[in-house]
Amino acid sequence: MIDSNEVTGANILKGEDIHLSFDGVKALDGLDFSVKAGRIVSVIGPNGAGKTCLINCITGYYRPQQGRITFNRQDILHQRPHQIARLGISRTFQDPTTYPSMTALDILMAGRYIHTRATILDAMLFFGRSRREELESRQIVEEIIQFTQIEELRKVPVAAMSFGQRKQVEIARALVMQPTLIILDEPMSGLDEVMKEIITDLILNMFDRGMTIVLIEHDAQVVMEISHSIIVLDNGRRLTEGTPREISLDKRVAEAYLGL
């Protein structure tokens, strides 16, 4: 399902000297980071450290005033969100109530948008290309539905789902796009232990399939368990970077979190 990266270990995503400010307030202040292909990389940091800002910069929602971001050595800083999605980066949103009136099936089928070609005329006529693509997409969507275990949610509108179910659908939505890089923005916040377990397993399964995963998460235990490397942000800068073990021993990290 997922393109396996032959060059595992090479940097797939790289940012240099990213500056982002809103009306003079600095959100990212000369941030450098890199993500190696086929790894699980977590980004942690206290509230307001710039974690979500970073995601929004990578996915084209915010445009940094200065810096460079490359994906597969291609400049993505000047691309719009939908163009970046087409390059194979997909993301989830912190608030999973994105499409209240759509069913899980609708959302996942919509997630196949970049892989289908039907034009306005095709859509109006339906028979022909539109129908063929629908059936192909459905096949892949069903695969992801099984993979993410949301079979019962197919025809349930998001508004009628629990918070955890919405998070599951949100991840499934990012997966049907068949990305090479998936960015998860706090996939476990607000979930109970059982749901956390399910999502953790899901992330590990995604890794097994060769996907590169960037994880933003507050739950320190989960982050320490599953990440290959951790980037710590503080005040819009990279405080440090390392393996979970290195990070847990780093004094500066504790200081940033506890405000000592």
Partner 1 sequence: MRARGRRKTSYAADIAVIHSGRQWLTLAVFIGLLVVLPLVLNATHNLNWVTFLNFTLIIIIAVLGLNVTTGMTGQVSLGHSAFIMLGGYGLAMLTLKADWPFWAALAVSTLVTGLIALIVAIPAIRLKGFYVAVVTLAFFYIAQYVIRNLDITGGTFGLIGIPSPSIAGMSIKGDVRWYYLLLALTILCVLVSVNITRSRLGRSFLAVRDNDVATAALGVNVPLTKLRAFFVGSLFAALAGGLWASYVSVVRLDQFTIWDSIWYLGMIVIGGAGSTAGAIMGVIFLRLISQILHVIGTSDLIPLSSTVTIYSTQIIYGLVIILFITLKPMGMISIWQKFKINYKRWPFGV
Partner 2 sequence: MDAATILLQLVLSGILVGGVYGLIGMGFVVTYRSANVFNLAYGQFVMFGAFIAWSFIGSPQEPRLPLPIALFLTLIAVILFGLAVEYLLFRRMIGRPMHATFILTLGIMALLHGAAMLIWGPGVHVLVETVPRGAIHLGSIVLSQEYVWSFFLAVIIALALALMFQRTRLGLAMRAAYDNQVAARCLGVSARMNAQITWAIAAVIATLGGILMGTVHGISTTLGELVMIVLAVVLIGGLDSLIGCVLGGLILAIGMNLSSYYLGPHLPGVEGIFSMALILIVLLVRPSGLMGTRPIERV
92-111: contacts with partner 2 (CB under 8 A): 93
Rounded-to-integer distance, Cα 145 and Cα 207, Å? 17
1 versus 113: smaller Cβ distance to partner 1:
113
Residue span 177-206 as binding mask against partner 1, x where in contact by CB under 8 A, dash where not: x-----------------------------
Q: What's the closest the beta carbon of residue 22 comes to partner 2, in angstroms?
A: 7
Among 2, 10, 102, 156, binds partner 1 (CB under 8 A): 102
Give the contacts of 90 (CB within 8 A, at least 6 positions apart).
174, 175, 177, 179, 181, 182, 183
Encoded tokens for 25: 């307030």
Rounded-to-integer distance, Cα 36 and Cα 214, Å? 10
Encoded tokens for 8: 């595992």
By the rule CB under 8 A, 52 interacts with partner 2: yes
By the rule CB under 8 A, 163 interacts with partner 2: no
Rounded-to-integer distance, Cα 203 and Cα 257, Å? 25
By the rule CB under 8 A, 22 interacts with partner 2: yes
Rounded-to-integer distance, Cα 18 and Cα 64, Å? 6
Residue numbers at the binding site for partner 1 (CB under 8 A): 59-61, 80-82, 85-86, 90-91, 93, 98-102, 106-107, 109-114, 116, 118, 120, 122-126, 130-131, 133-135, 138-139, 142, 173, 177
